[in-house]
A = this chain, B = another copy of it.
């Protein structure tokens, strides 16, 4: 072997540097005064002086990916929306514990680095961060020939947020009689995409199914929404929210039990919210049982709020969008009953 260098081994350091140039402005737009130092230092720096003013600050952190939705994004050549997906997924995951986001870091890896693609993904990440007042203080791009299939990429993200310990969710007083309020999802979010891709295999992404009214790409790549702004009022100073459940991997059937205390079941009334046509299309094309659909997908409800019966109306009024009473808690053994 002669003349080995890093580029001939499939790693292009210049491409990495060019990607950083392309995304710099978007990343900087997420910086508030808490962000110290600039892009390119070893680690991101976040001034945590504000935590000194809290009674008992607790940092809350979560790492996630967006599953094989990245594969669909690569097929469609659309990269910005998965940036929103990863950020909003993470924001929702810490929101259910009562935390608001401080900062975010991303990881992007692919078989062959295309600076414009990385820049699109990171611009999407930065947009979603900015919408939620979250600083994008770090990230890594990696070119890994042979690990990723040709043309494929993956992204992961980590969020760090904070809460005051006295306001941590779920609260211990969840009890039979409490009511479940559902907020709409914007699509399958980031779950069930391996199954979705199997069901729509061979169907061009620009196909417009009449019941959807938009292209398959538009329907399937709709970004995972964040519930931070919709719930900020009800999670405010004198919050009566007892718990939140983010319906991600495992859908209705596996996420709601995560907040149920011993001896309590959740009774979910099918038909109490409109199931978006995409889920019915998936169900019929795939001949999937209704129970299995609820184990994989959010079925149109992305976040569930648990409150006492007395607070239902007040909480629904304080959420600035249409919400649905989808069920209630009853005595039981920690499972979800679809009825």
Contacts and interface: CB of A to CB of B under 8 A. Distances in A.
A287 interface: yes
Given A6-B194, A147-B68, A47 B42 contact: no
Interface residues of A, number: 91
Interface string A52-81: 101011111111110110110000000000
A43 B99 contact: yes
A59 B136 CA distance: 13
Given A52-B51, A144-B154, A149-B148, A288 B5 contact: yes
Nearest to A147: B152
A296 B12 CA distance: 12
Contact of A63 (B45, B56, B139, B143): B139
Q: How many copies does the complex hold?
A: 2
B71 A147 contact: yes
A287 B198 CA distance: 47
A159 B103 CA distance: 13
A137 to B, nearest CB: 6
A47 B168 CA distance: 12
Interface string A30-58: 00000010001111111111011010111
Secondary structure at the A interface, as helix, strand, loop or mixed, is mixed
A109 B70 CA distance: 13
A46 B65 contact: no
Contacts of A287: 1-4
B59 A45 contact: yes
A257 to B, nearest CB: 11
A145 interface: yes
Nearest to A144: B68
A49 B138 CA distance: 24
B61 A138 contact: yes
Q: Closest 5 A-B residue pairs measured CB to CB?
A: A158-B158, A43-B62, A4-B286, A107-B156, A63-B105
18 contacts: A4-B195, A4-B199, A6-B195, A40-B258, A43-B62, A43-B94, A43-B99, A43-B159, A44-B61, A45-B60, A63-B107, A67-B142, A68-B145, A70-B144, A71-B146, A140-B156, A144-B194, A149-B149
